[in-house]
Structure 1
Amino acid sequence: MPGGRLTHEDRQRIEAWLADGLGYAEIARRLGRPTSTISREVARNAASGDYLADRAQKVAGHRARRRRPTRPAEPTTDEVVRGFVDQFAALLAATGLPRMTARVFVCLLTADTSGLTSADLVRRLQVSPASVSKSIGYLEAMELVARQPDPGGRRERYVIDDDVWLRAWQADTGAHGEIAIAAQRGIEIFGAETTAGARLGKMGQFFARLSEQMSGSTLTEPAVYDALTVLAALVHAGRPLTLDTLATALDWPRDRVIAALDTIRRQPAIADPLALQAINPEAYTIATRPDRLSPAQRQALER
């Protein structure tokens, strides 16, 4: 085939035409090949004597096998697992978890129920014992990893139990609620009409709703139901009420009123668009959330 590799038949023709005394250019013309192809073929296979087609074909076959690329070896199971651990750890690191800690966590996450020892982690991750120890301490502080005695020896094993995600979820939910409460206090300090107050208002509203959604609260939960009842009482009274007044009017124990008020403080989105205000440690009232209306809107409504 013109332009392709020389075949055994091509080489036999070259051998015959060379014996007839034809030059390289003429042989190339007859085969439809560049003259350089014929000259190289002859120079490569007739260096120590006459050009022989069978010998040239055999040498060409050996040369082709040497050039054939070897198929890369299939990755081992350990290499596949290590690749997954590193990839997953990179995703967790992007959320703020230290890279080494993320690798240790994913390694434990993909281990069986018996967990892993420190030596296991060192061997699997190919890191120092100090790096593993530091990462385990970080994960323990977040309550993501637990220690268990090793039944077969004196070493401890590190495990991730089935409740790890619930604890992490609840921890985040509590933190978001605290941020919302702090933002509300900031609004009261700086004033809703200030730049700082407006920023804190948006921030508080975001984290309050996030906390409420993450906690899975619904209006059927007793704590939320009590909180809404207290809000309704304050709105209906239209004036500040003490804890004792609320308890007497609602016919509740005092502790129940305190728990309902605490629920509103921890989940301010429950009262949206209203906000609970403490007149003093024993008296409360209700007002519109300072972040719900802009200063201009408030002024227009007060005219």
Structure 2
Amino acid sequence: MPGGRLTHADRQRVAAGLAEGLGYAEVARRLGRPTSTVSREVARNGGPRGYRAEHAHHATARRARRSPAPAASPAPPAAAEPHGRDPGAVRDFVTQFAALMVHTGLPRMAARVLACLVTADSGALTAADLVERLRVSPASVSKAVAYLVRLDLVRRERGAGERRERYVIDDDAWLRTWLTSARTHAMMADTARAGVGVFGAATPAGARLDQMRRFFTSLSDDMAGGSTAAAFADALTAVAALAHAEVPLKAAELAVALDWPPDRVARALYDAGEHPDLADPLELRHDETAGTYAVAVRRERLTPVQRAALGRAAAAARPG
């Protein structure tokens, strides 16, 4: 049914195809769907590295519940504000929010688009909506949205039967940005540490790099603190436990092995699936039919030639 909604079974086949390393076109051919349907489905649900059939299915259902009213229902005038809001106060706040984003380094147009999305009750606007609100050209909106998508702050989506894309800001957009920043700071600290080893801590360059290491290590630790860090620590522990087990386990079996309550294991597995970059270069894999979880090395971390060479090396190292 080209153009129709993907079913749960379709999403399982998409996930299986991505796990095999297939391209969007091949996955789409197997489903009998347009390539664009598969590419949009994957892009709006974690990308090729983070796509999970179960999570994608539930996320799509949630987005459908949040979707704006059908086009047949007349929308209120752009100037009207619900709940007795003062339009002037709203405009002032949007301007103030955009100015703050510009101060943090965001380009002015991207900041204005982000401010509109943050303050829209639906959290989603079309290009036409943004053009009307900002009084700018469609090209300016398109360029700003592309910038925000690269930052993982905004995503594009298009509902079944809809011609226009909507630009959406999710409730966890700030958390994703925070995690990206924390990981970047950790990478800066690791790079500086390597530089100290190259130049020597007693040299001026080495001392400067060591100071950089201490600064970014402290910043990364501070950003990773609190309840979020504890939740992600549980996710990493669950991934480590599955790696140590070396066989797929059910959530209940993992709970017994870790001596955790079942809901703690469920949250840890959910976080590991929702934030795949946490466990990089490993990834969590869920066999929905068997109800088991396992971990594996991300396929994209190694080229086909490297995987083949490693397979030969492993075979040669086996006794007999």
TM-score band by shorter chain is 0.3 to 0.5
TM-score (norm 1): 0.46
Give the number of the structure with larger relative contact order, counting CA–CA contacts within 8 Å between residues 6 or more apart: 2
Question: Considering only CA atoms, is the larger Rg found in Structure 1 or Structure 2?
Answer: 1
